[in-house]
């Protein structure tokens, strides 16, 4: 695979239904699509259990990990199927608007309803509209991310890095 | 706007047709969609000139900037219309497969044909399939990005950061 768009941020996708079946996977292929309404897209392989769960329940949660839970991110990225949940150390929390659990150790949890699905190549692009969210005010003071928080950047395979604490500002005036 | 998915990588989207009209804009809302075939998605506002050009010519180039050309990234992100080209210091290069120019100062240039367009909220998601690419082997040795290269991460407005040079590896075996 060509990694010319990498390093890319790694997020966690939680799917399923509380009390029935739940899975978590690591996903790099995530982007915003619209600011207002708040819509995102995430590409998921039909081979993944998460694909079946999102297709079935039409809801998912996107959780934002930091490097503090890198071991769990790796479990969720490298293992397949719901069995991996027993290997992870994260804990679940009650959602506000969907029936998919949040991840307590994540610095933000966004709850989505699926509003579109598009198959392209070897993945399906799931389009989700935000129905609720919660976040750690210390990591997102004033609604923007604080550099130095240890956001997970995926380089390749088991190699990750994080962002620098320094802020660069262009000198040109807008 | 909620910046809970930020910091996000910033890329440059080149559109138009060589010898006719060309524009460049900075875009954070970019993701991979499929590995094989290599397909990406980029969300662009219908207000942008780039939107008109991609809709018209059905081709675009995605260029990967580093912090070395942050001033230009900022020009392309904060100014509107093709007039901004005169403010930028980047130079264009001949593409391999499309009729849109590449950016010589970028560390990678990927050439795309549009294979899908989906309107969601305040943006259009353009789906592009790679038809050619070129990259700097020093920045992508062995087809993976070298941390410490200064990939541009957008925090908010005129605040940017870059990735650390250090590599983190989870200790769990796969």
- CA–CA distances in Å: residue A30 to residues A66, A68, A93: 16, 21, 22
pLDDT digits (tens, 9 = 90+) for A80-94: 877 888 889 999 999
State both tokens at B108. 């990678």
Q: Pull the structure tokens for residue A34.
A: 């619209």
In contact, B2 and B156? CB cutoff 8 Å:
no
Residues in chain A closer than 8 A to B164 (CB atoms)? 161-164
Contact (CB, 8 A) for B161 and B142: no
Please state the rounded mean pLDDT for residues B23-48: 98
Searching chain B, which residue's CA lies closest to the CA of residue A127?
A: B120
* Nearest neighbour of A34 by CB, restricted to B73, B122, B143: B122
Across the range B108-133, mean pLDDT stands at 98
Model-level pTM? 0.97
Determine how many CB atoms are found less than 10 A away from the CB of residue B173: 6
Q: Is A106 on the interface with B (CB under 8 A)?
A: no
pLDDT of residue A79: 87
Tell me the chain A residues in contact with residue B120 when contact means C-beta distances shorter than 8 Å: 33-34, 39, 115-116, 127
Q: Name the pLDDT band for B173 (thresholds 50, 70, 90).
A: low
Classify domain B7-162 at the CATH class level: mainly beta
Domain ranges of chain B: 7-162
Three-state SS letters, A117-139:
EEEECCEEEEEEEEEEEEECCCC
Give pLDDT < 50 ranges for chain A: none
Give contacts of A 38-97 with B, CB under 8 A.
38-43, 62, 64, 67, 70-71, 73-75, 78, 87
Q: Which two structure tokens, joined as six digits, stand for B32?
A: 């991979």
Chain B contact set for A7 (CB, 8 A): 9, 145, 147, 151, 163
């Amino acid at each position: 695979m060509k990694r010319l768009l990498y390093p890319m941020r790694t997020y966690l996708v939680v799917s399923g239904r509380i009390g029935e079946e739940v899975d978590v996977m690591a996903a790099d292929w995530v982007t915003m699509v619209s600011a207002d309404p708040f819509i995102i897209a995430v590409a998921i392989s039909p081979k993944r259990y998460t694909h079946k769960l999102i297709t079935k329940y039409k809801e998912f949660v996107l959780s934002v990990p930091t490097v503090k839970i890198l071991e769990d991110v790796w479990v969720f990225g490298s293992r397949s199927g719901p069995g991996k949940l027993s290997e992870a150390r994260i804990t679940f929390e009650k959602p506000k608007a969907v029936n998919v659990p949040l991840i307590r150790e994540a610095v933000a949890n966004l709850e989505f309803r699926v509003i579109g699905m598009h198959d392209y190549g070897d993945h399906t692009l799931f389009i989700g509209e935000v129905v609720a969210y919660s976040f750690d005010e210390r990591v997102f003071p004033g609604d923007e991310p604080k550099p130095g928080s240890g956001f997970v950047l995926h380089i390749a395979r088991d190699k990750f890095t994080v962002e620098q604490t320094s802020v660069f500002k262009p000198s040109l005036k807008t």
